[in-house]
């Protein structure tokens, strides 16, 4: 059994991760960490029978040295502190928190090397979203222009999403068409720009996580779209990463690497 600590356990994603870990026969929920709900039984909090695991601080959850993997779904302001604590306690790391900078990733690589642990960092754990990015990367070789529209719930802290930024990085080197010539009457109307790929973010209640990549070519349009209509869509990918992280040395960026795409 893989003993798992979930950081951000009281959040919307964290609760789903706790459920998934509890339900899988290869994983064991060893600790639940959050600044909210400290002292509450996580089973009760996620609508299950009590499981005798109270929400604690990360330091308390790491005490004893039995945890093997920490899954972090917090936010950019605290994730590095959590990663440092896990690394110092020789716990492997699965990161779903977005907003990590390039400098953060360099530090994570050093932490992994210094402490003999591994990390999987994924901008999106939905298997369909990973395939969407792969299909977009394939299409970019053959289409002259592309724009990305990502739509999320209004509580999401960062814009663009990590998935949108990763998609832009994948397709931008392959897009050869000219830049947009339109002049913005309303600043920002054309969206943000990564190299020559425009990225648009929508934040509205009712959405979960959605992205489409629209390609334009001579006399044709191609749209590649993925929709997560429920947070459970991310859980197969999270569990895949939890089970794989001990076997992938160092830092692995993207779920596609362990899907062999």
- Residue 200 falls in the annotated catalytic set: no
Report which of residues 111 and 260 the model is more confident about.
111
Question: Whole-angstrom Cα distance, residue 21 to residue 30?
Answer: 9
Task: Write down the catalytic residue from 105, 109, 153, 156.
Answer: 156
> What DSSP designation does 189 have?
T
pLDDT band for 57, please (50, 70, 90 cuts). Answer: very high
What span, in angstroms and rounded, lies between the C-alpha atoms of 88 and 148?
Answer: 38
Q: What percent of the chain has pLDDT over 90?
A: 87
Instruction: Locate 56 and state its tokens.
Output: 């604690």
The long-range contacts involving 29-32, CB below 8 angstroms and separated by at least 24 positions, are: 29/4, 29/53, 30/3, 30/4, 30/5, 30/61, 30/66, 30/67, 31/4, 31/5, 31/6, 31/56, 31/60, 31/61, 31/62, 31/67, 32/5, 32/6, 32/56, 32/61
Going from N- to C-terminal start, the domains of the chain cover: 2-121+232-257, 127-229
* 113-153 pLDDT, tens digit each: 999 999 999 989 999 999 999 999 999 999 999 999 999 99
Which listed residue (15, 68, 152, 210) is catalytic? 152
CB 16 within 8 A of CB 231: yes
User: Is 152 in the active site?
Assistant: yes
Q: 177, 179, 200: which is closest to 190 by C-alpha?
A: 200
pLDDT-derived band at 64 (thresholds 50, 70, 90) equals confident
pTM for the predicted model, two decimal places: 0.87
For residue range 12-36, list pLDDT tens digits in order.
999 999 999 999 999 999 999 999 9
Element (H, E) at 221: strand 220-228
Band of pLDDT at residue 180, cut at 50, 70 and 90: confident
pLDDT at 10 over 80: yes
- Domain 127-229 is classified in which CATH homologous superfamily? Dihydrodipicolinate Reductase; domain 2 (3.30.360.10)
Beta bridge mates, 236 = none
DSSP string, 129-171: HHHHHHHHHHHHTT-SEEEEEEEE-TT---SS-HHHHHHHHHH
Mean pLDDT for the chain overall: 94
Class of domain 2-121+232-257: alpha beta
Asked whether residue 179 carries a pLDDT value surpassing 80, the answer given is: no
Of 47-51, 69-73, 220-224, 237-241, the poorest mean pLDDT is in 47-51
């Amino acid at each position: 059994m893989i003993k798992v600590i979930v950081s951000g356990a009281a959040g919307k994603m964290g609760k789903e991760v706790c459920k998934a870990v509890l339900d899988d026969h290869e994983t064991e929920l060893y600790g639940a960490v959050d600044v909210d709900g400290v002292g509450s039984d996580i089973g009760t909090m996620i609508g299950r029978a009590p499981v005798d695991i109270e929400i604690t601080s990360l330091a308390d959850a790491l005490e004893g040295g039995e945890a093997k993997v920490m899954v972090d779904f917090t936010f950019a302001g605290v994730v590095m502190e959590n990663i440092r604590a896990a690394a110092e306690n020789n716990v492997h790391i699965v990161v779903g928190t977005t907003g990590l900078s390039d400098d953060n990733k360099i530090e994570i690589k050093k932490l992994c090397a210094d402490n003999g642990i591994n990390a999987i960092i994924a901008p999106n754990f939905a298997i369909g979203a990973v395939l969407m990015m792969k299909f977009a990367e394939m299409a970019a070789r053959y289409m002259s222009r592309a724009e990305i529209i990502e739509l999320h719930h209004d509580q999401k802290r960062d814009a663009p999403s990590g998935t949108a930024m990763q998609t832009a990085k994948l397709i931008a080197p392959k897009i050869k068409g000219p830049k947009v010539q339109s002049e913005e009457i309303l600043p920002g109307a054309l969206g943000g720009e990564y190299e020559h790929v425009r990225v648009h973010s929508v934040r509205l209640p009712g959405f979960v996580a959605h992205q489409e990549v629209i390609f334009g070519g001579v006399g044709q349009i191609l749209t590649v779209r993925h929709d997560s209509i429920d947070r459970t869509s991310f859980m197969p990918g999270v569990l895949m990463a939890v089970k794989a992280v001990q076997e992938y040395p160092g830092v692995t960026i993207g779920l596609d690497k362990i899907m062999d795409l």
